A and B are shown apart, each in its own frame.
Chain A
Amino acid sequence: MEFLQTIPFDQLLIQTINGIVTGMILALVASGLTLIFGIMDVVNFAHGELFMLGAYVGVIVLAATGDFWIALAAASVIIALLGAAIYLTTLRPLLGRDPLTTILATFGVSLVLQNYALWQFGPVARKIQEPFTGHFSLFYLDYPWYRLVIALLSTAIIGILWLFLKFGTFGIWIRATTQDRIMAQAMGIPVPWVLTVVFAIGAGMAGASGVLFGPLSGVNHAMGLDWILKAFIVVVVGGMGNLAGSIAAAIFISLLEAYAALWVSPAQAVIVSFVVLILTLLFRPTGLFASTAR
């Protein structure tokens, strides 16, 4: 127990809050990814790039209008439209082929988008100004309110998605398509349209999380890489295609990384999530939070 006493309680609490905040953004990114995978069998390698482009759209709209919330809305819509365009041009032709081909195609998309961003916006990181700069005191720290707002907003967006899937007519179509694509088609559900919209929703969520996360770090063309890797870990640990599992895994892993950062550098704290992944593969390959019913 001496080991624990070396870490002051206040630091532990701060890291808990930090972990939950990053966990909620990660959950937002990963739930878009897992939504797309669960419903369409598409592994979207370009998800991190959609996140990054969302942040850039946020930068541009923020510079033009000066309003963070307009930037957030604009980024979600524009990235959702971009997602629909990507789906229609590169993924629809692959419908019915091995799901592995989608990983290849979206890897190509991610290369194109990432280098497009580098070309268009240059290598210098941009900054998104947070919408409010208030702080509250947390022990010796001035903790920014904005971080808490991110966590709340992410929760709200995921909550809306859940309500939409549960009660909206379109959400019911989406769930029907997940269960049996052919039967759904036979019942008159416009399946191609449903798939396009699902991809657009997932992309829009990535775009929104990009804007939300923008103020915490710089916006640059390579920021998507970190997130796609983390999101992949989350969806494997949470059970692929399992929305609730992904959210739980995102928070779980972010918390562990935040605690690990108390002892080692943040770059090395990533190893903790790798360890979680390895243990998951060893003992529960279907996902740590997978329901046994599936």
Chain B
Amino acid sequence: MSLASEDPFPVSGERGRQTRRQQALIYWTGFSVILALLVIAPLVLPEFWRRFLTEILIWGLLAMSSDILIGYTGMVSFGHSAFFGLGMYGAAAALTSVEPPNLWLAMLYGLVGAAAVAGFVAFFSTRVRDIYFAITTLIFSQIFYVVIFTWTEVTGGENGLTFRRPPLAIPDLFSVPFTSTTLHWFVVAVVTLSYLVLRRITQSPFGMVLQSIRENESRTRAIGYSIERYKIVAVMLSGLFAGLAGVLYAVQNQFAAPDFVFFLVSGETVIYNVIGGIGTLVGPIVGAAFFLLLREGLSRFLTEYYLIPLGLIFIAMVIFMPQGLLGFMRRWLNE
């Protein structure tokens, strides 16, 4: 049993090939239009919304990374805050220790940190399945929360770390300081690239094995695939992209705080996925946008209690709309 199943009867034959070519055309047109809109957006939007849009994309990347597990492998991770947080603290380590601050070094440190944590979590948590996996990842993320929270000398404890923002630079070529516009473009570029890479991965033979694990784990094992190995790689891959989101968030906000390692962030990541539609990759970004916009709108008159209506909406969606906002487009998006 899985949370989402593909349509078992795809269109095939000559007619199928034609519609598929047509669909691909529509897909890439839509992709280009949205990408163009995202690139133009900072030039039109006021400062606040420019930052807001960048933030949506970063949270969207985090949600998208977790979709690899939730939507494609059928494993619900409640521990993505650990990967995100380690990406953040990894970037912080690079930015506070090395002078002058270097963006690429921050990214490297963040990714290495996130990958190490993801490897550790994956090694243990893939031994169990379904609900146990969800709970185990949740508890593992709390381990890192406790470590970061209590290891004050290194992580700054409750106060976290602040640092300067590195310039966007390629050695010997150019170096420009990040403005909110260039930062937005940088984030758009990273998120788009990640999307294309993740999409390619889900369509690769490796991605197919993941989806077959989602559909029927024991049968996939019977065919001869080493399920544990695939799962570990899936978790690490997912953690790597979550870490990338963490690095971007650190660069945007110039701080790292233990709050972002707390499991509520993981919970919100799962919410983005469910709202947007799992197994679609773009759905989670839409979910993040929906959630953050709603939060922005609600918090204007509900201040910090916005989670009450949002929680209710989320429950209603779990019950009545398990496919999410973009669920109806799932097959088409995966073509």
Interface residues of A (CB under 8 A from B): 43, 90, 93-94, 97-101, 103-105, 107-109, 111-112, 114-116, 118-119, 229, 232-233, 235-236, 240, 265, 267-268, 270-271, 274, 277-278, 281-282, 285
Q: A111-B311, A271-B146 are in contact. Are A101 and B139 (CB under 8 A)?
A: no
* Interface pair B139/A98, CB less than 8 Å apart: no
Per a CB cutoff under 8 Å, which of B1, B127, B271, B318 touches A285? B127
Measured CB to CB, the nearest residue on chain B to A282 is B124
Q: List residues of chain A with CB within 8 A of the CB of B3.
A: 98, 100-101
* Interface pair A104/B270, CB less than 8 Å apart: yes
A30, B109: Cα distance in complex, Å: 39
Q: List residues of chain B with CB within 8 A of the CB of A278.
A: 124
Q: A90-B315, A274-B143 are in contact. Are A118 and B305 (CB under 8 A)?
A: yes
Measured CB to CB, the nearest residue on chain B to A232 is B135
* Interface pair B270/A232, CB less than 8 Å apart: no
* Interface pair A232/B139, CB less than 8 Å apart: yes
Ranked nearest first, the 4 interchain pairs of A and B with the lowest CB-CB distance are A112-B311, A111-B311, A108-B315, A108-B314
A235, B270: Cα distance in complex, Å: 22
The interface on chain B, measured as residues whose beta carbon lies within 8 A of the other chain's beta carbons, has a size of 41
Residue picked from B2, B139, B310, most chain A C-beta under 10 Å: B139
Q: How far, in Å, is A70 (CB) from chain B's closest CB?
A: 30
* Interface pair A111/B1, CB less than 8 Å apart: no
Q: List residues of chain A with CB within 8 A of the CB of B312.
A: 108, 112
Residue B267 is within 8 A (CB to CB) of chain A in the complex:
yes
* Interface pair A94/B139, CB less than 8 Å apart: no
* Interface pair B124/A100, CB less than 8 Å apart: no
Q: List residues of chain B with CB within 8 A of the CB of A270.
A: 146
Q: List residues of chain B with CB within 8 A of the CB of A107.
A: 267, 270-271
Per a CB cutoff under 8 Å, which of A93, A109, A236, A285 touches B311? A109
A46, B267: Cα distance in complex, Å: 13
Q: List residues of chain B with CB within 8 A of the CB of A94.
A: 318-319
A114, B305: Cα distance in complex, Å: 10
Per a CB cutoff under 8 Å, which of B76, B149, B305, B315 touches A109? B315
- Say what secondary structure dominates the interface of chain A: helix
Q: A108-B312, A111-B314, A274-B146 are in contact. List 9 more A-B contacts (CB 8 A).
A: A103-B78, A107-B271, A109-B315, A111-B307, A112-B315, A240-B132, A265-B150, A270-B146, A277-B136
Residue picked from A103, A233, A285, most chain B C-beta under 10 Å: A103
Residue B26 is within 8 A (CB to CB) of chain A in the complex:
no
A229, B139: Cα distance in complex, Å: 7
Please list 21 pairs of residues, one from A and one from B, whose beta carbons are closer than 8 Å in the complex, sorted by A's number: A43-B131, A94-B319, A98-B2, A100-B131, A103-B131, A104-B76, A104-B270, A105-B319, A107-B267, A111-B307, A112-B315, A115-B305, A115-B307, A118-B304, A229-B263, A232-B138, A232-B139, A233-B139, A274-B142, A285-B128, A285-B132
A100, B77: Cα distance in complex, Å: 11
Q: List residues of chain A with CB within 8 A of the CB of B310.
A: 111
Q: A240-B132, A282-B124 are in contact. Are A229 and B142 (CB under 8 A)?
A: yes
* Interface pair B146/A108, CB less than 8 Å apart: no
Q: List residues of chain B with CB within 8 A of the CB of A285.
A: 127-128, 132
Q: How far, in Å, is A186 (CB) from chain B's closest CB?
A: 23
Residue B105 is within 8 A (CB to CB) of chain A in the complex:
no
Q: How far, in Å, is B324 (CB) from chain A's closest CB?
A: 11
Q: List residues of chain B with CB within 8 A of the CB of A240.
A: 131-132
A101, B273: Cα distance in complex, Å: 13
Q: List residues of chain B with CB within 8 A of the CB of A268.
A: 146, 150
A107, B264: Cα distance in complex, Å: 10
* Interface pair B322/A101, CB less than 8 Å apart: yes
* Interface pair A281/B311, CB less than 8 Å apart: no
Q: How far, in Å, is B138 (CB) from chain A's closest CB?
A: 7
Q: List residues of chain A with CB within 8 A of the CB of B274.
A: 104
Measured CB to CB, the nearest residue on chain B to A278 is B124
